[in-house]
Structure 1
């Protein structure tokens, strides 16, 4: 099926998604800049260090996609070492190392922003990647497994890798070292809230829906009704996220540009490299796409929360975390369309 044919079958919301996302970003930035007291109001209540509206947006965004997962097919993913091993390598070895290198190469004179970017590189994606993968027609079951795997490794390895890349490795290389104070329990709470709640809800929906009304009703009646909610949640999250940092972003454009450059290179290299690796390993289009997006995306919620908790809400480290989704959202939306354009190359690949 060609990209044009795929686009023709999309709803108006899906077809013009880049327009809606751009509008949401602009609306958020303008609201944060011009609406008095909005930032303090949005931050009045927080869930695990994240503004309650953002937390709700993320949960609403992830639930419909996880409700679509066919959990009885997960065993076919867990047996696929061509997918699991490259994913672990990309997420927990190459990704953090690449961000470390880019941060030092491009921001040698800006230690706060450099540290913030390294923290972003350590926080592997467990939320928005679900949306990008679904839009690009990736393998939902594979995405669920890889996100769960990233979550486990995030709890175990985030603090260790933070210590290594911020303290140990710079000292070995004769560079400036810093420290990162973050507990495994804080990371575990983030994972349990932002992945655990929608995962349990999605699994329960499928099990109960199929048992009571059957799979045909669940997939042809229920899922089409809840599906658009994911994109509404995404747009709402983007508006709130950018509103919270609108003043910082619009008042420091040069700093944002300096932070954006290594992020652009990072997202491009991680996605393209992962895509090439998936194709070389003989993965199908759907699983190659899932591998690429799970490797390229980052957990901005965790990165921002850790930066704020460790260095303060107005720190350069926190600003670098905020610029992460500012760049990631439009870049990965663009890569969704690149992925769909490459889809016909995989038509004869094995599933």
Structure 2
């Protein structure tokens, strides 16, 4: 993050160069970084075990409620409570709250020893609901609900096709590549070779992609962030509250519902993370690249990245508060995880 901010400030024209070519409103280098980041983790997923997740009648309903009812409502409340005098930033944060995470969450989940198969199912579920519900929820939280409450209303025009295209690119491509890699690798050389030879070779590229994406993202937006430090601080406050409340609340709900540690961890990170790529693209397309809404979207990952990295460590330490499983979770059986 520091390297990206420094590059954005010190290299003239770098931000314009990075933003010159875009994919669904996202800079091409960032899009490539996201694809490289997601592919190795999705290649590690054991797709023959997905049915054990889809049959879970506790995990899936909890995820839907947290992501599509509690999450947007909480961000709406925090944005109005903490930014009542800054309508542009408030609108940007509400849009961030509507964009449920389908990309970087898979890295946080993997680092925290969450359940890979559960993460694959939940981000796929989020993707479907994102296409179906994003525009409708934007209309509800920016126009309808404020009208009911006597608050300022904002219009949001966003194409369902644009959302679907973003989902297909940032989830569909790495998911298909990961599935085909495992299917063909196991068919040709067997599972033992796949998990002890191939996965250790491609696994590190997930973190390389993550680091590259962060550097490029903050190089692209470095000037906007560093030129308005007080505004960034105001935007950061509701974001910090949101990440902490969503993650901790999800961990408590998962534990109370009887989920094991890996699945509870996956539930928490998929609920707390947001699809900042989509949120930034929507804010830029609707309000302009220099708008306050776009700045709020950019500040999202500035806060999310360090907070969720910290929560990875909290999740790992929280394992002692969960019952010891009678059989090792699928993730712990994977010899390539370390």
1:344 shift after superposition: 2.4
Corresponding residue for residue 3 of structure 2: 27
Per the alignment, residue 84 of structure 1 pairs with 60
Residues in 2 aligned to 1:223 and 1:179: alpha-carbon distance in whole angstroms: 46
What is aligned with 1:331?
Answer: 307
**Alignment correspondent of 2:210:** 234
* Paired residues, number: 327
Displacement after TM superposition at 1:44 (Å): 1.3
Give the whole-Å Cα distance in 2 for the aligned partners of 1:250 and 1:81: 46
Other-structure match for 1:126: 102
- Structure 1 distance, partners of 2:148, 2:183, is 52
Q: Aligned pair 1:259/2:235, yes or no? A: yes
Equivalence map 1:294-333=2 (5 Å): 294-333=270-309
* Matches of 2:314 and 2:258, distance apart in 1: 19
Length-normalised TM-score, structure 1: 0.92
The DSSP-based 3-state class of the residue aligned with 1:283 is: coil
Match of 1:249 in 2: 225
Pairing partner for 1:154 from 130, 135, 140 = 130
Q: Which residue of 2 aligns with 1:7?
A: none
Match of 2:165 in 1: 189
Taking the TM superposition and a 5 Å limit, the aligned residue runs for 1:95-106 are: 95-106=71-82
Residue 11 of structure 1 is matched in structure 2 by none
Distance 2:309 2:168 in 1: 26
Q: Which string of whole-angstrom CA distances, capped at 9 and with x for unpartnered residues, describes residues 88-139 of structure 1?
A: 0000000000000000000000000000000000000000000000000000
CA distance in 1, matches of 2:84, 2:23: 34
| Alignment RMSD | 0.7
Alignment of structure 1 residues 29-178 onto 2, 5 Å = 29-178=5-154
Matched, 1:281 2:254: no
Query: How far, CA to CA, are the matches of 2:287 and 2:187 in structure 1?
Result: 49
User: 1:226-273: per-residue Cα shift (whole Å, max 9, x none)?
Assistant: 000000000000000000110111110000000000000000000000
The alpha carbon displacement at 1:349 in A equals: 4.5
- After TM superposition, what 4+ stretches of structure 1 lie above 4 angstroms from structure 2? none
Structure-1 residue corresponding to 2:175 = 199
User: 1:8: which partner in 2?
Assistant: none
> Contact 1:283 / 1:349 at 8 angstroms: preserved in 2?
no
**Alignment check: 8 A CA contact 1:133 1:143 kept:** yes
Render the CA deviation track for 1:2-56: whole Å, top value 9, x for unaligned: xxxxxxxxxxxxxxxxxxxxxxx00000100110110111011111110000000
Which residue does 1:16 correspond to in 2? none
TM-score relative to the length of structure 2: 0.96
Confirm whether residue 208 of structure 1 aligns to residue 184 of structure 2: yes
| Counterpart Cα distance in 1 of 2:208 and 2:185 | 23
Q: 2: distance between equivalents of 1:66 and 1:347?
A: 27
Structure 1 spans left out of the alignment, 5+ residues: 1-24
SS in 1 for 2:203: helix
1:343: Cα distance to partner? 1.3
Question: What is the aligned counterpart of 1:346 among 306, 312, 322?
Answer: 322
> How much has 1:347 moved relative to structure 2?
4.5
